[in-house]
Amino acid sequence: MRTFIAGLLVCWCLFPSVADAQERVGVERLLQHVEVLAHDSLQGRDAGTEGAAMARTYLREQLDGLDLQTFDGGLEQRFTFTHRRAEEEREGVNLMAYIEGQVVPDTFIVVTAHYDHLGAQDGDIYNGADDNASGTAALLEAARYFTQHPTDYSLLLLFLDAEEHGLRGARAFVADPPVAREQLRLNVNMDMISRNPADELYAVGTHHYPRLRPVLEAVGARHAIDLLFGYDQPDHPEQDDWTMASDHGAFHEVGIPFVYFGVEDHPGYHDPSDTFENITPDFFVQAAELMLDALQELDAQLPTVAPNVTK
C-alpha cells in the first residue's frame, strides 16, 4: 500500500494540475463518511445520546489522522442544551480544530457542519444522511485537503452538535469562541448538500452580505452543478427565509457574515427516508468540490468579501 501511494505521489508531483484534480475530494472517503454516520447503529445521532457519541468517535478517528492544530481547550467544546422532546437539560459536544493560515494566521474562516440529527422515534430511525452527514463528510474532506493546501487565513473546522435543538452548538460556540470573536471573519456553513435530482445547490446569505455574491457567482460558473442564490430575504412571496434555518444563523446574530450551502427541501427532509441509499452521489461529489473551490476563493478575497464588521 505504501509503495503504491509513493508511486502515485511521484506521478502527481510531475503533473500538479492532475494532482489537484485527483486529490481535491476523495470520493470513496466522502461516501464512506456518510454511510457510517447515517448507519442504523448510530440511531439518528440525536444530541446527548450514545449515537451522537458514536458519531464523535468516528469524527475523532478521522481527524486524528490529519495534521490539524487544536486550541488550548482541546478538540471538544462542551455545553448544555434543553432537549426538545425529553424537555430536560443534556450535554452537547462540538468538535473543533484549525489549519493555520500562511499569511494572516490570527484571522479565521469558520467552516461548519452539524453532525447531530433527530434520533429515533416511534420505531423509526431518522438516519440524517443528507441532514447532515453530507455536510459533515464534506467538512472532513475539506480538512484533509486544506492540510495539504493551506489557505492565507486560518480555517477553523467546526463540527457542531444540537443544531436540531435550536442551533445550540453554534450558539455555544459564538458565545464562547476559542479566540476573540473579532478574529472570526466569515462562516461557511454546509447543511444538506448530497441530494438534489436537478443538480441545484443554493448559496444563501448574499442578500445580507452582497459582497460575497460576485465571488460565489464566479465559483458557480466553474462547476457543472447550478449554484443558485436566494432563500435569504424576509417577506419574499415565493421563497422561505433560511437566514436562521441552520447554524449560520448563530453567526449572523452576532454580525459575522455567512454563506450557507444547502439544497431545497426534498421528500427525505426530516423523514426516516433520509438514508445513504437515497442521496445522489454524483451531485454530492460535485457539491463538495464546489465547496473547496468556494473556500479557496473566499480566502483569497477575504478582506473584500468580509470586512471586519463584527459587533
Point out which residues bind Zn ion (CB under 5 A). 131-132, 191
Backbone φ and ψ of 98, nearest 5°: -145, 160
Residue whose CB is less far from Zn ion, 170 or 306: 170
The nearest distance, CB 246 to Zn ion, in angstroms, is 6
CB of 131 or CB of 141, closer to Zn ion: 131
| 43 vs 132, beta carbon nearer Zn ion | 132
- CA 26-29-15 angle, 5° bins: 20
Distance CA 188, CA 215 (A): 13
Q: Which residue number, 131 or 289, has a Cβ lying nearer to Zn ion?
A: 131
Query: Which residue in this structure is represented by grid cell 445580507?
Result: 208
Asked if residues 178 and 110 have their Cβ atoms less than 8 Å apart, the reply is no
84 or 181: whose CB is closer to Zn ion? Answer: 84
Q: What single-letter DSSP state applies at residue 149?
A: S
Structural contact between residues 131 and 265, judged by C-beta atoms closer than 8 angstroms? no
28: phi then psi, degrees, rounded to nearest 5: -65, -40
In angstroms, give the least distance from the CB of 164 to Zn ion.
Answer: 7
Q: Is the dihedral of CA 298, 299, 300, 305 positive or negative?
A: positive
Q: How far apart are CA 256 and CA 181, in angstroms?
A: 9
Nearer to Zn ion, 131 or 232 (CB): 131
CA 205 and chain centroid, separation? 15
Which residue lies nearer to Zn ion by CB, 247 or 299? 247
Sheet holding 76-83, edge to edge: 76-83, 88-99, 153-160, 104-114, 184-190, 258-262, 200-204, 226-229
| Residues counted in the chain | 311
Q: Minimum CB separation from Zn ion for residue 245, in Å?
A: 8
